[in-house]
Chains A and B, each alone.
Chain A
Amino acid sequence: MAEKKWMPRWFYQLASPRWCYGITGKLLPIFAPLALALLLGGTVWALLFAPADYQQGNSFRIIYIHVPSAILAQSCYMLMAIAGAIGLIWKMKVADMVAKSCAPIGASMALLALATGAIWGKPTWGSWWVWDARLTSMLILLFLYFGIMALHAAIEDATTAAQSTAVLALVGLVNIPIIKYSVEWWNTLHQPATFKLTERPAMPAEMWVPLLVMVLGFYCFFAVTLMLRLRHEILGRERRSGWVRELVEQR
């Protein structure tokens, strides 16, 4: 269409489920070993070689899972909302599928962040749950994911479901900064937690380099799971198109 000429070519290629299926097929063999190597290397480094914290001892090591999963839960929401917006504006099916695939991954990451936060809380605070600002924000983020998944599940028509969840994700995106700010403010008003899981004064390099490796590893892992889910989604939705049939017959 004439009015969309300013968009680069790859944008249209992305819009084609078939092209997307092909390119993710080529990217997967790169990202999968990369994710595995980074995660394995990072874990070994973090658990065996990184120094223990002078206050918290070894229990602090859980941040090597907690922080990456928390970061990922948030970036995943961003990606989901942006993909949803692209799907809404340009009616791009692949963007809808990316958004749909993001939700369960993001939710599990938020859950992982909450679980690791709770496990860390037991030896540090003496209880499994503390109404710490970051944990509370993460809990609300998890609720937002639940809402999106519930809405998607409730609507039968795939297109309508994608569009509705995109609107909800965008509303959530506008709200996330407000929620974060309000929760932080609420937290300082009530009981400032003495220990913070993440905000620590000047972490030495031996500690944060493995953290960085883990974050990168999580991102690669995220890319792998997203691509796998996306390919599954593409095959499901395009099952009646010619190229999927050919693909199945080749097997």
Chain B
Amino acid sequence: MSEMATNKPATQDRRRPGTFRAALKRDLLLAFRNRRDLVNPLVFFLMVATLFPLGVSPEPTFLAELAPGLVWVAALLATLLSMDSLFRADYEDGTLEQALLSPQPLILVVLARVTAHWVMTGLPLTLMAPLLGLMLFLPSEGMPGLMLSLLLGTPTLSLIGAIGAALTVGLRKGGMLISLLVLPLYIPVLIFGSGAVQAAVTGLPLAGYLALLGAMLALGLVLAPLAIAAALRISVSG
């Protein structure tokens, strides 16, 4: 038998990036090539925030009181909206199958995908949040809390949402279903996220909230990729 049947990995090429980096690079490149889609969650974010003054009341003190929760709910919905397409394109063109069949750990590929998703949605949402804060008369003391809580909270939203996306990737009617699966799981992040903003507005210390958001992120980083990988294998298997 020739070298065919011995499948030792070839001597590691120094120029070759690791799986995570290669997958992240590819996902970011894909997102960049489809950059017109990237604006959609941001526009949605803005629109949801516009609905509240129109639907409830434009009165500044009233809005200022609601603002922490409103911005967080809008960010949560915008993330959710972008979730359905997370694995769908890969599933349809067969690249997901190839990723599942790779000898490289699937959790790295999955983690890269979620990271790319966060860079393309969670991060811009965080950067845009002060604008919504202004529109909703959030006192300026609340801004750091808003940014920090979103910075720590949106990656968790991406991780949890990816579980829902992975579970529904094989289904034609994924969109609505994802919301049903994922929204209840988003509640703790929402509570501590908007709690952090409220604390910032009233001048209370933020550290506790941020620590809790950070703890949830750490837990999500460890456990969610396992669940996502398992869910993808199940979905593709069906």
> What is the interface of chain A, defined by CB distance below 8 A to chain B?
88, 140, 143-144, 146-147, 150-151, 154-155, 157, 159-160, 163-164, 167-168, 170-172, 174-175, 178-179, 181-183, 185-186, 189
Pairwise interchain contact A168-B181, C-beta atoms closer than 8 A:
yes
- Chain A residues, Cβ within 8 Å of B183: 143
Question: Which 3 pairs across A and B sit closest by C-beta, in order of nearness?
Answer: A160-B238, A182-B188, A143-B184
CA separation between A167 and B235, bound complex, in Å?
Answer: 11
Q: List B residues 224-238 near A (Cβ within 8 Å).
A: 227, 230-231, 234-235, 237-238
Question: Which of B37-45, B48-56, B115-123, B163-171 is found at the contact surface with chain A?
Answer: B163-171
CA separation between A44 and B60, bound complex, in Å?
Answer: 56
Q: Which residue of A lies closest to B238 (CB)?
A: A160
Partner of A150 from B180, B187, B230, B237 at Cβ < 8 Å: B180
> What is the interface of chain B, defined by CB distance below 8 A to chain A?
160, 163, 167-168, 170-171, 173, 177, 180-185, 187-188, 191-192, 195, 216, 219, 223, 227, 230-231, 234-235, 237-238
Q: Which residue of B lies closest to A172 (CB)?
A: B185
- Chain A residues, Cβ within 8 Å of B191: 182-183, 185-186
Q: Which residue of B lies closest to A148 (CB)?
A: B181
Given A151-B167, A167-B231, A186-B191, CB of A157 within 8 Å of CB of B185 = no
- Chain B residues, Cβ within 8 Å of A189: 195
5 residue pairs bridging A and B, Cβ less than 8 Å apart:
A151-B168, A167-B227, A175-B184, A175-B185, A175-B188
Pairwise interchain contact A163-B195, C-beta atoms closer than 8 A:
no
CA separation between A140 and B230, bound complex, in Å?
Answer: 24
B interface, by DSSP: helix, strand, loop or mixed? Answer: helix
CA separation between A171 and B160, bound complex, in Å?
Answer: 9
- Chain A residues, Cβ within 8 Å of B167: 151, 164, 167-168
- Chain B residues, Cβ within 8 Å of A150: 177, 180-181
B207 to chain A, nearest CB (A): 15
B62 to chain A, nearest CB (A): 17
Pairwise interchain contact A163-B163, C-beta atoms closer than 8 A:
no
CA separation between A181 and B182, bound complex, in Å?
Answer: 18
Pairwise interchain contact A154-B168, C-beta atoms closer than 8 A:
yes
Q: Which residue of A lies closest to B231 (CB)?
A: A167
CA separation between A186 and B198, bound complex, in Å?
Answer: 12
CA separation between A33 and B196, bound complex, in Å?
Answer: 53
- Chain A residues, Cβ within 8 Å of B184: 140, 143-144, 147, 172, 175, 179
Pairwise interchain contact A171-B234, C-beta atoms closer than 8 A:
no
Pairwise interchain contact B234-A167, C-beta atoms closer than 8 A:
yes
Pairwise interchain contact A154-B173, C-beta atoms closer than 8 A:
yes
Pairwise interchain contact B185-A171, C-beta atoms closer than 8 A:
yes
Pairwise interchain contact A160-B235, C-beta atoms closer than 8 A:
yes
- Chain B residues, Cβ within 8 Å of A155: 170-171, 238
- Chain B residues, Cβ within 8 Å of A167: 163, 167, 227, 230-231, 234
- Chain B residues, Cβ within 8 Å of A175: 184-185, 188
- Chain A residues, Cβ within 8 Å of B231: 164, 167
Pairwise interchain contact B227-A183, C-beta atoms closer than 8 A:
no
Given A154-B171, A154-B177, A182-B188, CB of A164 within 8 Å of CB of B223 = no
- Chain B residues, Cβ within 8 Å of A186: 191, 195
